[in-house]
Amino acid sequence: MNQRTMPGMRCRTLTPRIRLTSICGTLSDDKIVRGQFPAHFSLVLMREGAGTFQLNQQKIQHYGQNTLLISCSAESCHGFDIFPRNHFYDLLIVDFEPALIATLYEVALPLPEDGGRVFHAALSEPLQEQMRLMLEAWQDSSALGTLRLESLALGALWQALRGLEVAADSAGQSGRELQSRDRKRLIDARDYVREQATHVRSMSEVAQMCGLSLVALKRGFPAMFGVTLWNYVIQRRLEHAKALLGDGLSLQDIASQSGFSHASHLSRFFRQHFGVTPGSYRKTQSRPPE
């Protein structure tokens, strides 16, 4: 969310990893913000307010009272925010370092590759309480107070991710009682991705190939295989890239052959999945045995 300047806005940087923005006020005029968004990983807790946003030409989304948003992009992106006039806004934005996007992988949420992604949910009562505690702790600028506020911010992120994980799992539960026909089609989808991951461009493509609706594929795949379809695509691409690292190719060539649009995308996902960069992994493979 690129709020720039709004009534009742105050900001506080806790560490290079965490920055807080609190907004509490009423707009007398519509506020429209358009432009470039830097790489970001932002948690938005909105108790009061309303708005519309779009990221990288994706579907326009809306938010309002008691809304939770996680907006993330590992690359610079573009979009807009619209804040309507005469609304009272009470929200807290917590900006974390973009490297924490990797935590989405841990809760089986789809990682953004070329574009950003926004996750949207209701603001739970525990997170409303966490927001209240953060605003209360804001007043203490001592070292211990700052440490407490940082802890609360990380706790809010943990709660938000756990809530999204449970919601995704609940959605997947509806696909656990799968008919044998759908099970076979999901297996066909998995086998197709296993062989064609470097060429897959969209989930709709896989759905069409296996004869399932996009909704049935997105719900049934994690229910049956324990991983989202897109994360499975990324895993297969990374395995392909890993096998190519001993061939002396450039990282850009390996990225292109593995289905990644840029070497930087390959490096980011490789580090998130394997814990090392492609270059570091290549060096370990090229060392002579001791």
Q: What stretches in the chain show pLDDT beneath 70?
A: 1-4, 105-108, 110-115, 165-180, 286-290
pLDDT of residue 83: 87
CATH of domain 180-286: 1.10.10.60
Hey, CA dihedral for 130, 135, 138, 139, is it positive or negative? Answer: negative
Residue 165 makes CB contacts below 8 A (sequence gap 6+) with 107, 108, 109
pLDDT of residue 113: 55
In the β-sheet with 61-63, what is the strand arrangement from edge to edge? 31-37, 77-83, 51-55, 61-63
Cα 99 to the chain's mean position, in Å? Answer: 11
pLDDT of residue 107: 67
State the residue for tokens 């950003």: 116
Q: How far apart are CA 9 and CA 215, in angstroms?
A: 40
Residue 230 makes CB contacts below 8 A (sequence gap 6+) with 110, 111, 203
State the residue for tokens 């938010």: 63
pLDDT of residue 68: 93
pLDDT of residue 176: 45
Q: pLDDT by residue (tens digit) across 211-259?
A: 998 888 888 888 788 788 888 899 899 999 999 988 888 999 999 999 9
pLDDT of residue 19: 95
pLDDT of residue 178: 56
9-172 domain in CATH 3.40.50.10320?
A: no
Domain chopping of the chain, boundaries? 9-172, 180-286
Name residue 22's beta-bridge partners.
10, 92
What pTM was estimated for this model as a whole? 0.61
